[in-house]
Amino acid sequence: MIHAKKALRREVLQRLKAAAAADPAQLRSAALRKQLAPYLQQKELCVAIYAPLEHEVNLLPLMQEYPQHRFVFPLCLPGHKLRFHEVRDIAADMQPGAMNIPEPAPHTPAVAPQDIDLLIVPGVAFTHRGDRMGYGGGFYDRFLPLCPQAQVMALAFAEQMVEFIPTEPHDLRIENIITC
């Protein structure tokens, strides 16, 4: 199963990188953010997002589009765990982290998992029935049970949607996937 996951991850990442090169204006990210809009119409939410890699859906403009919400970002901890921190200004509150992925700076306040209202998870591949394949660390599979009150969703490009993902018992499903 591990070999099948690695092969699928490699295949989808190749497709994603090719598609990202063909969409320098990030129009597809904007289209997905527009589909997310109905979930963000409430007055105040604590929204967990992530700093995107070059081939991932860019959620950062949400911070300017919905200033009434609190936006929190993951910080990777030892033991493949996550802790989310509030970020108000990307330039001032983020710094390069593991694999040069931006993460919250030490001065940003930590947010309890039970305070998160909407949690948008990254991933490499998804199925229409909600199976998710991440990057292989299991960070979100460990974190999601800590915030059962949160509405969990993913935004995915068409290249990320696959018919089948080999899953293991610890792999959690994502009930709501927005795709284009």
How many domains, the chain? 1
Query: Which residues span the domain enclosing 75?
Result: 2-179
Q: What is the pLDDT of residues 67-119, one digit of tens each?
A: 999 999 999 999 999 999 999 999 999 999 877 889 999 999 999 999 999 99
Count CB atoms within 10 A of the CB of residue 36. Answer: 19
Rounded Cα distance, 26 and 42, in Å: 26
**Burial of 64 by CB count in 10 Å (0-12 exposed, 13-18 middle, 19+ buried)?**
exposed
Say which CATH number the domain at 127 has. Answer: 3.40.50.10420
**Residue-wise pLDDT tens digits, 123-142:** 999 999 999 999 888 999 99
pLDDT over 70 (residue 1): no
